[in-house]
Chains A and B, each alone.
Chain A
Amino acid sequence: MSTVETMKDRGAEPMKILPRGHAALKASLAVSALTFLASCARDAPQDTWQPAGPNAEQIDNLQRPVFYVAGVVGVIVLVAIGWAIWRYRDRGQAIPEQTHGKPVVEVVLTVIPALILLGVAIPTAGSIFKLAKTSDTEMTINVTGQQWWWEYDYPAVGPNAEQYGITAPIVTSGQLVIPENTKVLLRVTSRDVIHSYWIPKLNGKKDSVPGRVHLLRLEGAKPGIYAGQCTEFCGLSHSYMRMEAVVLSRADYNAWVANQLEAYTSPAAGTLAAEGEGVFIQQCSRCHQVNGLLNAVGEPIISAPDQYMVSGAAPNLTNLMTRNTFAGASWDLLTPECREDVWKSDSATFGAKYLNGVTTDCLNQKDLREWLRNAPGKKPMYANPENLAATGGKYRGMPALGLTEDQINSIVAYLLERK
């Protein structure tokens, strides 16, 4: 075998690789283009680049400059690597002399990044402290995660009671409702596994850990609805564990609180809803609390999720129809048109529309009925009574109750009045 042949072989190799290289280039271009286009999505409710409150702005003011600097550095590095790869590719030349170290370059390349990192670290530390501040709290809400929904309870103590009229505990799920321009402090915890609470437009994330109470500031600058989702993998239906924060003007907030605290009214006798109340008491009230619901002898019915659920909790349905999503905020209680009307309205008209709740015309019958027919069929949950040995018979999620269509009709009518 002669040297000439070897050289020719080597020369031929890049030629053969070239078409493949083109394919790879095209593929990577396509991926980059897609990624880039994805960033242009117009309907991006969980966009961290669109802060809607001072806490999120604090983070945004920090991450934007860092992102730009990192972007420029990234481009410079990539171009330099690309150029080096192309310029010094193997053309069969002799291997150059191997040397070690170039103190000037090493020092410069250490000092510049160190300075950049220092420049990032100082404002970062400042932001961390600002975001951890709790002494300026104006309202406090307990946020409790469990597989796979969030419970909010508004303690009827301290400033909540004195300044916001929360004179009795309010318990809701899925949608957190807060007054605008108010420094709300969430006490975030969990009843089972670790979850994480994140409304990207209002603040960063905070893990919810069983046994621990983590504090998270939240403040919305203007009325609107802000989406989020659990951001710590928490089991089977993690992807169905969503939530929203609803910001209302002070006047609307007062109206919301007053409505939440309104006494329970039974459906008018003889209506479908009255029939539904009966079915609800039979089938649902052992897990779901409806405040003020009385049994046949006039005693309040107290739900017992502690006996049926691993987490010991199930959503409070007293005012279900004042929220507009359900089951971990995964499905709408509003039809698509009505939802569009509420969610896309400007901040001046949003409050009134949100306070309307779910009306008969606007109820998304399909998803709610599917849920009542077979909840675990809609949202995967460990709710098959035959497979509960590991949890001593307790469910993680709502079981399928085998309701008849008549029962479902009456329950829907009953639930429609829960607002």
Chain B
Amino acid sequence: MITTSSKLFYGLGTLSFVGALVWVVAHDGSSLGSIALIFLAVSLLFLGGIASYVRDGHVLSTDTTAHASAPAAQSASGNSWWPLASALSLGMVVVGLISSPGIFKIGVALSIAMFGEWMITNWSDRASADATYNDKVRGWVVHPLEIPIGGALLLTVIVLSFSRIMLSVSTGAGPIIFGVVGTVVLVGGSLVSVRRGVSKTLVGGACAVALVALTGVGLATALNGERHELVEAAEYDHYAVHPCGEEAEEYDEEASRAVSAKSSVAATVIFKDGELYAEMDGFPDPLTSISLQRSYDLTILFRNESVGEHRMILNYGNVVEDLGGGVTRDSKLQACTALIGEGGEQAIIVRIPKPSSASPQSPYNIVVSGVEDSSIEVLVP
């Protein structure tokens, strides 16, 4: 039987089928589009069949009780804010389109979320004839998503605000602020947990005020910028390999002390009592000749255990650049740490492109600035 809605499906299905035929004729050889269209046609015809079979879900007009109790006849359980939220998100997409890709992406994500919420609410409002059950059923569907995502967003706001504050206050004030805030949270939490009578509104209100304050201060400090030492350190970039000899003021002497968790130390080079030696995983004894892999990001850690400041220098050959017109420039390949004080250490990351046999005239080695008679031979196969 052809019903009102099945008509639509049958029509669309037939259209897709015709489309598939046209596709085959128009794009001889390429069948991907026609396969997609035929699938579409089959699915639409199938939906049409269902609509026919259930007669569009119509209830006989004479069956008044069924009318009154039908889920579709129920009114919504409350005002829905999702249409408004969806419209705002769409607005954000438009704003993003003309301003920045970041806003656009957030807008798209928000739109999907808000439209999704709207659809689920619409569905759950009429899932059954029982309003309380409908409310519950919405929770089952969206809470597993809403609660963790909401929690994560809240955490992000807290962490971001707090980190902005910590990045802008002076190094001395940081620990004090951290200690005070921590204590307040701990004491407050303990009080609430011990005194069971505390009203929910009071606790909620306090948390809300704290959140607003934190976000506000965070925002203000973010606009104000990081403390100047950090700004300068970022410009200097501790992690980059600097031309050997270029020395910047050390802002944060231990900045590169930690080797990232993703990497292992290929070799630890130690300068102790005027002697240079290396320790490597897999070699039980200290080495004065080490073998490093070619074409591999090596992390080499230098530790200065001698008096005075020293810099580790890794020499790994030369490059000959062709400057054109028969002129070439021969320059040394070197990687260096900064000047490291006694007891300090620094890691450098270096990739050696050529084997050590490539430059018999200038052997690869590790030396320390100002110390002539101690070096580590470097073999790169």
| Alpha-carbon distance A223/B89, docked complex (angstroms) | 70
A189 interface contact, C-beta 8 A: yes
CB <8 Å contact, B294 and A313: yes
> Which of these, B281, B291, B295, B355, contacts A155 with CB under 8 Å?
B291
Question: Which residues in B have their C-beta under 8 angstroms from that of A291?
Answer: 357
Question: Which residues in B have their C-beta under 8 angstroms from that of A214?
Answer: 264
Q: How far is the CB of B140 from chain A (nearest CB, A)?
A: 24
B282 interface contact, C-beta 8 A: yes
Question: Which residues in A have their C-beta under 8 angstroms from that of B297?
Answer: 210-211
Question: Which residues in B have their C-beta under 8 angstroms from that of A99?
Answer: none
> Which of these, B285, B291, B295, B353, contacts A169 with CB under 8 Å?
B291
B262 interface contact, C-beta 8 A: yes
B289 interface contact, C-beta 8 A: yes
* Contact bitstring A133-177, B, C-beta under 8 A = 1, else 0: 011010010101000000001011111010000000111000000
A380 interface contact, C-beta 8 A: no
> Which of these, B281, B299, B357, contacts A211 with CB under 8 Å?
B299
Find residues 278-297 in chain B having any chain A CB closer than 8 Å to their own CB.
Answer: 281-285, 287, 289-291, 293-297
Question: Which residues in A have their C-beta under 8 angstroms from that of B353?
Answer: 304, 306, 312
CB <8 Å contact, A211 and B264: yes
Find residues 221-277 in chain B having any chain A CB closer than 8 Å to their own CB.
Answer: 262-264, 266
Q: How far is the CB of B366 from chain A (nearest CB, A)?
A: 13
CB <8 Å contact, B295 and A313: yes
CB <8 Å contact, A212 and B263: yes
> Which of these, A135, A191, A212, A304, contacts B284 with CB under 8 Å?
A135
Q: How far is the CB of B249 from chain A (nearest CB, A)?
A: 30
CB <8 Å contact, A137 and B381: no
CB <8 Å contact, B299 and A153: no
Question: Which residues in B have their C-beta under 8 angstroms from that of A169?
Answer: 291, 355, 379-381
- Given A157-B379, A302-B354, A302-B355, A312–B281 Cβ distance below 8 Å? no
CB <8 Å contact, A305 and B379: no
CB <8 Å contact, A170 and B282: no
Question: Which residues in B have their C-beta under 8 angstroms from that of A153?
Answer: 291, 293, 381
B358 interface contact, C-beta 8 A: yes
A410 interface contact, C-beta 8 A: no
CB <8 Å contact, A189 and B284: no
- Given A134-B282, A191-B296, A211-B262, A300–B291 Cβ distance below 8 Å? no
> Which of these, B283, B293, B295, B355, contacts A158 with CB under 8 Å?
B283
- Given A211-B297, A306-B295, A312-B294, A300–B358 Cβ distance below 8 Å? yes
Find residues 195-219 in chain A having any chain B CB closer than 8 Å to their own CB.
Answer: 210-215
A56 interface contact, C-beta 8 A: no
Question: Which residues in A have their C-beta under 8 angstroms from that of B263?
Answer: 211-212
| Alpha-carbon distance A86/B184, docked complex (angstroms) | 63
Please tell me the size bucket of the interface on A: 35 or more
* Nearest neighbor of B297 in chain A, beta-carbon distance: A211
| Alpha-carbon distance A169/B377, docked complex (angstroms) | 13
CB <8 Å contact, A170 and B294: no
| Alpha-carbon distance A171/B264, docked complex (angstroms) | 22
* Nearest neighbor of B296 in chain A, beta-carbon distance: A191
A55 interface contact, C-beta 8 A: no
> Which of these, A156, A187, A300, A305, contacts B295 with CB under 8 Å?
A305
Question: Which residues in B have their C-beta under 8 angstroms from that of A302?
Answer: 354-355, 357-358
* Nearest neighbor of A135 in chain B, beta-carbon distance: B284
Q: How far is the CB of B10 from chain A (nearest CB, A)?
A: 37
Q: How far is the CB of B278 from chain A (nearest CB, A)?
A: 9
Question: Which residues in A have their C-beta under 8 angstroms from that of B351?
Answer: 312
Q: How far is the CB of B86 from chain A (nearest CB, A)?
A: 38
Question: Which residues in A have their C-beta under 8 angstroms from that of B262?
Answer: 211-212
CB <8 Å contact, A144 and B293: yes
* Contact bitstring B346-381, A, C-beta under 8 A = 1, else 0: 000001011101100000000000000000000111
CB <8 Å contact, B295 and A157: no
* Nearest neighbor of A152 in chain B, beta-carbon distance: B381
Q: How far is the CB of A240 from chain B (nearest CB, A)?
A: 21
Show the binding face of A for B, using Cβ within 8 Å: 134-135, 137, 140, 142, 144, 153, 155-159, 161, 169-171, 185, 187, 189, 191, 210-215, 289, 291, 300, 302, 304-306, 311-313, 316
What are 30 A-B pairs with beta-carbon distances under 8 A?
Answer: A134-B282, A137-B282, A137-B284, A140-B283, A142-B293, A153-B381, A157-B283, A158-B284, A158-B287, A169-B291, A169-B379, A169-B380, A170-B381, A189-B264, A189-B293, A210-B297, A211-B263, A211-B297, A212-B262, A212-B264, A213-B264, A289-B355, A291-B357, A300-B358, A302-B354, A302-B355, A304-B353, A304-B354, A306-B294, A313-B295
Sorted from nearest, which 5 A-B pairs have the closest CB atoms?
A: A312-B295, A155-B291, A169-B381, A211-B263, A306-B353
Given A158-B287, A189-B293, A191-B295, 8 further pairs, Cβ under 8 A:
A137-B284, A156-B291, A157-B283, A157-B379, A158-B283, A169-B355, A187-B281, A313-B295
